[in-house]
Amino acid sequence: MTLVDIKGLDVGYLRHRRVHPAVTGLDLTVAPAEVVALVGESGSGKTTAANALIGLLPANGRITAGSAVVDGVQTAGASERTLRRLRGSVVGLIPQDPMVGLNPTQRVGAQIAEAVRLRGIAGPAVRTEVFEHLDQAGVPDPELRARQYPHELSGGLRQRTLIAIALAGKPKLIIADEPTSALDVTVQKRILDHLGGLVREQGISLLIITHDLAVAADRADRVVVMRHGRKVEEDTPDAILGAPREPYTRQLITAAPRLAHAGRVVPRFDVRDQPVPDPILRLTDVSKTFPAGDLLRGRRGFNALDKVSFTVPRGRTHALVGESGCGKTITLRIALGLETATSGSIVLDGDEISGLSWNRMRPLRRKAQLVHQDPFATLDPKFTVGQSITEPLVSFRIGDRRSRQARARELLDQVALPASFLDRLPGELSGGQRQRVAIARALALRPDLIMLDEPVSALDVLVQEQILHLLADLQAALGLSYLLVSHDLAVVAEISHTVSVMSHGRVVEDGPVAEVFTNPRSHYTRELIDAIPGRRVVDAA
Amino acid sequence: MARYLGGRIVQAAAVLWAAFTLTFAILYLLPSDPMELQLAAAGVQEDSLTPGQLAAMKHRFGLDQSIWQQYWHHLAGVLHGDFGTSLSQQVPVSDLIGQRIGQTLLLSGTAAVVSLLAGSALAYLATFARWNPLRVFLTRLPALGASFPQFLVALFLIQFFSFQLGWFPALGTQGIKSLVMPVVTISVLTSSVLAQVLIKSFDDTLRQPYIVTARAKGLSRTAVHVKHAFRNAALPAMTILGVIVGLTVTSSIVTETVFTREGVGKLAQESVLSQDVPVVLAVVTIAAAIFVLVNLVVDLLYPLLDPRISHTRARPVPEVVTT
Amino acid sequence: MTATIAEPDQELQKPDDVRVGRRANLTANLAQLVRKPVFLLAVLYVLFVVVSAFRPRLFTSRGPYDTHPEAAAQAPSVHHLFGTDIYGRDLWTRVLYGSPLTIKATLIALAIALVAGLGLGIVSGFFGGLVDGLLMRAVDVLLAIPGLLLALSIVTALGYGTVPVAVAVGVGIVPGFARTTRAEVLRVKTLPYVEAARAGGASWTRVLLRHILPNSWGPVAVLAVLDAGVAIIAIASLSFLGFGAAPPAAEWGTLIADGRNYLVTAWWLSLLPGLFVALLVLGLNHISKTLQELTR
């Protein structure tokens, strides 16, 4: 008998007195001890479907049709009491963002104990179980950690705590909502491995909700692809990767680099045997130390960067890759002159810029521009698209209104947006469209070098593809150089020629992407590459 | 820890000193002719005096000294509990205040407690009541309470409960019954302010992701509210405790005037009317001291309740708009 | 030159007949506001009171100082909307003629608070560091003196009347404005689009005027409307306590205080002007709340 049986489920959200559908006609089953992955982009309805299963929709969510049977109990339209009996003890939930998923004013052990007590355990046995579950979830030194508060734990430990809470209910099914998003890639891999092992060991079913088809393919027995609230395709990973039926599925596969190349990461550019052009940007022995008592960092004398050196050759893309806290973002900001280095030299197109005052640097700004990570905050919500794009021209007093308008049209064309967008406000654009506008703005001054700070990490997988292609095309057409910062090796493989791998403020390895990805020399690089999901190699059909 | 404690106390003392200085500056530097002001308060017409008498008066009030000497004199006095002499009543200010402070503390204290209870109850019901129309009504109620000037509330209460129904006395300080309407008058405003902050805080807290985590464990709604929502929602409200107490203290001015209660509030009103500068200075200083003290206590207790705030970082303060 | 893309972004494609852009945004907001009946009522009432402050004659034909001893202390009726006082003066007229004093005092108080508060907040948030620390300490000191007492001190020093009361109340409101403005400036200052503008060569002046201020004014406007209500209550309270304009000129607070002695016999003398004021403040609160929901 199946553990979860969803038939014809319709779920919607009530907004302005109308119900906007989020899930339509969903059929889904999960068998005992089975791992199923729900894959889809944002707005596909995957999280909504999982929430609806145990009645945890937000206040304006409604199940409008269909049935959902969990362990023999109908949950669609069920009373709160019925649902409560299922939550925790039959179905456990690992929520999406571990940084905010725990009560900040309660000790971690107490939060796990709460789940244990709900099973009827009392007295000293509770404490023992709490430590046991923490241990199971892979938390070292459980007695110490149980007494701590969430803000004292790292993201990875918080995620493990949430796993422990889910396990403490001894459920038959665990729903893991986007278990990979908020954490560093190596941490994600370890946690997913661990979770996978646990559920197999204890015979628990697992429902993974993810936007990453590669993660789904790696770890699930069955993959269900959703789009715009409907199920698009469903099959075993081998079948889906080997012979995808739907064009959408095929698009998703193409967009995931490892899957597209049968389990290997194949960089787009191989420049190992080519001559190196002149550098447009060269950093030599750049170090940055935050002084003791710096309020922002809260530590005493923090070494953010330690003798970082690299070059960006003209017309090429150099990437800085590493996990959070490795110093790649600070390096980018120093290269752009937004922060000052403690020591070292930064040479932009032949001009030394370290130590230059803002005003002295200003004329050089025309050579190097920036594209931010967050497309939703990178445009002034009160500026129209046209105004945002032409602002650099206005700041430098280039041209008059007419010529700026013409230039704006030209730029929109370059980023493949229609000219009618000139009068739109950012609120009327999607994430991908906003990022295109940001790129157009960066091109306005005809720079030689563009710094890209995680340019696609906030976008959906297919949109990421589009933007990366756009960037590559622009580079070919305009001879641009890029300095790319990313935590995602797949993105790096897509558009970079050379790469520096950073860890704890140091460059651990560097060289052409083709070399570093196929023959990594440092252990850390190898770890990073291993952590890219999608290793499941597909046998040629 | 002791260092933090010491630091906070020094800071509080500094703020209090600055408040005293500011009030002194307002009262002694702002008027076009401070002396004429103070003489008038003492009931003396400047032109009716001979130069000799004028000089004697000046000396008596310490007005022949430079402003710095006067300031130092007053400051030193305050540190010893001596607030000078009332101009209109020729008695030591501390006596005047001492006689009346009991009444005011009784009134403000009771009102503060009542507001805390009423405001919290209102906020709780407005968030958790089952019946939707009731929730909507209760959420709008604090705005109503904050819109009525306190003197108007007092007059309405007197009209109804004293004159129409005869339940409570309209003035005086005799017995518990005379305390009821003044306390209600003050509490209408202060509990509305508290309720508004708490309602918003509850709303924010219930939207937090960890509430979903708690529900997913299988906890009942009540358990989620009690164990997870309450404490986190109450934190921001704690930080406005100083404002609430300050409000109850200043509300006593209007309330005691309308209900004719002989407290420090009424004293304040009378002394402003007669421009009795030393009394005004004393009342303001004491009120500021109370405010600073309450804030200090909250500052010291807050880290105990919110583990995220260590003793080195400032606590968050929500915006409250009132007089 | 076009980049090769599989298909254009499908998300958020607006059909061609839906208008977009700044003007459409504004009209959409206004349309939303017009559809709220309570909001409209509040706006109308506030407008009425403000207009009566400048042209009381539009709403009454009588004079505020016309005594008619034969018609003394009459209850509200069709002839006398608010009744008459003990000198036979029409109370409705007296209330309307009291508007200019209170409204003008409120406007002065708000003007002081806006100029000083905004100035402090912008300087503090923009420059940060030592300047910020000093200014915020000063604001803390102002806050330590409870509002009404600060006002009373200023009135003691400057004497009674509309202007001293306005100044006193205005100074008391400054801290709220300063804090809110500062918070907004700090928030916007660190947003990516400000940084993008700087990277694009914009000077700090341009950033301040074109990016920070336009995006900060929302909460400040909400606060301004709310504080108008607070100011009105404070001014009325001060004149109630006896510190307002001298008779026979009558601010609302003075009117209410005068009627206090006749509560038993002529309750309308105090309570009707009081309701008039309370409705005004209630209206302002509602407008402020609606604006807040809109700008969220």
- State which residue of chain B sits closest to A152, comparing Cα positions: B308
Burial of A102 (0-12, 13-18, 19+ CB in 10 A): buried
Q: Give the helix, strand, coil percentages of chain A, each rounded to 5.
A: 40, 25, 35
Are A36 and A224 in contact by the 8 Å Cβ rule? The answer is yes
SS3 B6: helix
At C143-175, the pLDDT tens digits run 888 888 999 999 888 888 888 889 999 999 999
Q: Determine the Cα–Cα distance for residues A401 and B99; give it in Å rounded to an integer.
A: 75
Lowest mean pLDDT among A413-417, B55-59, C287-291: B55-59
pTM to 2 decimals? 0.85
The shortest C-alpha distance from A85 to chain B (Å) reads 7
State the average pLDDT over residues A386-396: 93
* Nearest by CB: C145 against B19, B149, B158: B19
Please state the ipTM of this predicted complex. 0.85
State the average pLDDT over residues A241-265: 81
Stated as kind and residue range, the H or E segment containing A222 is: strand A222-227
pLDDT recorded at residue C9: 44
Q: Determine the Cα–Cα distance for residues C288 and C296; give it in Å rounded to an integer.
A: 12
Write out chain B residues lying below 8 Å of C261, CB-based.
Answer: none
Residue A64 CB coordination number (10 Å) = 14
Strand order in the sheet with A302-313: A302-313, A279-290, A343-348, A351-352
* Nearest by CB: C9 against A369, A423, A430: A430
Rounded to whole angstroms, what are the CA distances from B49 to B46, B52, B143?
A: 6, 8, 55
Domains of chain C: 2-295 (1.10.3720.10)
> CB–CB of C200 and A444 under 8 A?
yes
The shortest C-alpha distance from C22 to chain B (Å) reads 31
Q: Determine the Cα–Cα distance for residues A183 and A159; give it in Å rounded to an integer.
A: 9
State the average pLDDT over residues A480-509: 90
Q: Is C159 touching A (CB cutoff 8 A)?
A: no
pLDDT recorded at residue C58: 80
At A325-363, the pLDDT tens digits run 788 888 998 888 888 888 899 999 888 888 888 888 888
DSSP assignment, residue C57? G
Touching B (3+ Cβ pairs <8 A), the chains are A, C
First to last CA, chain A: 32
Lowest mean pLDDT among A425-429, A516-520, B281-285, C12-16: C12-16
Confidence of residue A541 (pLDDT cuts 50, 70, 90): very low
pLDDT recorded at residue A350: 86
Phi, psi (rounded to 5 degrees) for A367: -95, -25
How much of chain C exceeds pLDDT 90, in percent?
24
Does pLDDT of C18 surpass 60? no
pLDDT recorded at residue B317: 61
Q: Determine the Cα–Cα distance for residues A207 and A432; give it in Å rounded to an integer.
A: 29
Q: What is the mean pLDDT of each run of 10 residues along chain B (323 residues)?
A: 81 91 89 76 72 77 77 86 81 88 91 94 90 89 91 90 83 83 93 92 90 92 88 86 88 91 90 88 92 89 80 57 48
Q: Determine the Cα–Cα distance for residues A388 and A371; give it in Å rounded to an integer.
A: 13
Write out chain A residues lying below 8 Å of C19, CB-based.
Answer: none
Q: Determine the Cα–Cα distance for residues B134 and B137; give it in Å rounded to an integer.
A: 5
Are C266 and C76 in contact by the 8 Å Cβ rule? The answer is no
Lowest mean pLDDT among A31-35, A116-120, C14-18, C132-136: C14-18
pLDDT recorded at residue A298: 44
Does pLDDT of C2 surpass 50? no
Does pLDDT of A461 surpass 80? yes
> CB–CB of B288 and C243 under 8 A?
no
Q: Is A391 touching C (CB cutoff 8 A)?
A: yes
pLDDT recorded at residue A209: 93
Write out chain C residues lying below 8 Å of A473, CB-based.
Answer: 1, 3-4
The shortest C-alpha distance from A105 to chain B (Å) reads 6
Stated as kind and residue range, the H or E segment containing B190 is: helix B177-206
Write out chain A residues lying below 8 Å of C215, CB-based.
Answer: 380-382
Does pLDDT of C67 surpass 80? no
Rounded to whole angstroms, what are the CA distances from A163 to A88, A98, A399, B30?
A: 12, 10, 59, 66
Q: Name which of B145, B240, B153 is nearest B189 in CA terms.
A: B145
State the average pLDDT over residues A208-236: 91
Write out chain C residues lying below 8 Å of B37, CB-based.
Answer: 157
Mean pLDDT of chain A: 88
At C205-249, the pLDDT tens digits run 899 999 988 888 888 888 999 999 999 999 999 989 888 877 777
Residue A403 contacts by C-beta under 8 Å, 6 or more apart in sequence?
Answer: none
Write out chain A residues lying below 8 Å of C14, CB-based.
Answer: 428
Are A269 and A275 in contact by the 8 Å Cβ rule? The answer is no
State the average pLDDT over residues A443-460: 91
> CB–CB of C271 and B269 under 8 A?
no
The shortest C-alpha distance from A466 to chain C (Å) reads 6
- State which residue of chain A sits closest to C213, comparing Cα positions: A382
State the average pLDDT over residues A389-407: 91
Mean pLDDT of chain C: 83
Confidence of residue A175 (pLDDT cuts 50, 70, 90): very high
Write out chain B residues lying below 8 Å of A165, CB-based.
Answer: 213, 217
Decide which of C81 and B138 is more confident: B138
> CB–CB of A104 and B231 under 8 A?
no
* Nearest by CB: C202 against A373, A391, A473: A391
